[in-house]
A and B are shown apart, each in its own frame.
Chain A
């Protein structure tokens, strides 16, 4: 055993050493751990790590195949997201032990804290003492064995998996029920207990999901639909949107779930104009080569930045909402245009990784598809807090799209109406978030930028927290942002506009004098290079495009993304439908669109008299409406109206 003394070595240095010894196949013992956080995170080799004392948060987190033994206690989230391998804890465990595990065995000899096994997918969490509040909360699979008492609300909102309780079942959580145990299950439990030398003589009760909340009572039907652009025309009090909403509600008897963004007119970038006459912009040849557009995002704290050939990236869109072929096409296009792609929710497939040269890997509350191996092959890590279309809510993926293949990557039962958790198990405040950010950095050796996706709500407060918690950049998403599935009321009425979001963010950063400590990627209804330049003028470092890229890649905007029968093969998991989509062809279409964005950015920047996008400033803009002027503080000069219309239309490749 190689000793590492954390009284003398920092955790960061210690973790580097542990990983090195892992590669060499040498076992390690940790001396003077003193309850420090993140011990052993990111270890992917089958060695034994002995901790002489107590460990803090996320001990053995984001690891695979190692065997940890902690003599005394552990803090929150022991074994976080662990694939295979094991952790044995001699004392007590804090809250969320075994959170999001995907096959590991976690054994706690003492008691364990609240929400044990939250969003776990597979593996065993065993506690020889008592569990606490909401053990098995939102678990998707695997087994929890509690030899003592269950604590209140055991199995709250579990989707699958089993909880065996040797002591008293204090009270059952929502959608949980007691069921019979067969002798084979008992044998397996006894075999497990023997293996870890835990004596037990009593009997067990078994808690499982009761199946009342896994599906909506009525599913979304496919309707004869009108495209988003007709639907969102709101000039009349009664209009096609209202009509369609009513039809649908008359069928399903509840709120409507749909794709696409809000349909209400809101102040937006189109309410701003450039102060200069741009009618001659772009007339020169080779305009693209005359303007410096390359932009680095994510490197301000020393991580390897994303290197974008222009200040544009692809917005996170999930494999799940979108088909594998669509993710592939977008990935290929991002490579051709040399910008970055983002996995969105639901994990990273080989195809996606192969297609995109630069790929951000997104982590959401359900930890669906999140794992150390894909983290290690990502180019950036992103913590999703919320998105502009539905701030405060989790993703929705209707049963039709939760195919066995998709369910496997996510680690969940197939065929449920998946309502992803809106909260992270271990991010309940800014103070926990900082420990989580650090865990991601520790696990990947501080190589990767770590970003936060924020739906615009209380941007002023949220962005300050993002800076203080050390994020490299924020993906700030306004109310105009789209979604693959959200409830219509939320899409239309919750959040604040993209324009307000960027202004609030900049004001807040100025207030605390820390603008230089975080980069901002703005998104939410950015349609083209004209919108992009306006966002840059206002102060964004880059923009991200979602909807416009899928439309460029063949989307017909029918808003039925959630149904899973997408006729274009984009928003579906049905192979028959997906067959219609030709990723190689669509990749070129998306690429051509992205190049038109590049041309517009170059033409306008040049037209404004600059040769570098970093020279763009808010002095280049005016507001066309009193609302936009009030939000941005720009001069209200409606006479500039439509001056930039021309350049929306003209773009060459």
Chain B
């Protein structure tokens, strides 16, 4: 694995002193899909804008493919494609010309075959001669993606690509992302839809208040999510785990109950043995609850500032 994007202690204070990024550090591997999950105002767009050169960092540094985004901005930016959160397009220009412009702007020679390929892939070929203002919102978003891909970037930023788009476009978008990954393109997307992160990401980062709260392989997170917990409340609270129950993986709750964690994917859950042993030990059950940790729960816990 090679690191393609390296962010070190990145800080960004806006004019007026608001600190939108508070020393963020993150390495992104070549060819991976990283989903940055965070509520509105978390700093996702600020992070992307700072990496792409739209805002300037207050301190810290970022390298793309080993090129510093400041000292070696040309080499760094040539590798990057950006699909911004807000739709912003020149309304009177045609779709094809708008996309051609982007390719030229990034210093790539004219290549109409390449432009055609991109437009076809995004179902924009039939609209190539239309002025941008004649397109629907979803189509405009496709144009933004086409523009970002026009110079064949190695790293693609998608800032909330599916916020407010229809189901069809969302599916297309996921397909395009998968295809780009096949070609070795690294993709960083931001979203506040957990399902989206679950559906396409290799790795998931949770960001809130300008801080990265967690970055983890999706597989690892999913494994944690496969875990289920059973909480047993007892008529008489315990102060310690009784010796008869020591063989089980138990923790004590604050009100003297016990919590048992098991894997739903496992062959045997061990619940029967546990409950038998509880009865054997002469303990009386007052209540039993089960709960499953989900990405949503992890996310909510992290974001609300609770302990994870």
The answer to whether A and B assemble together is no
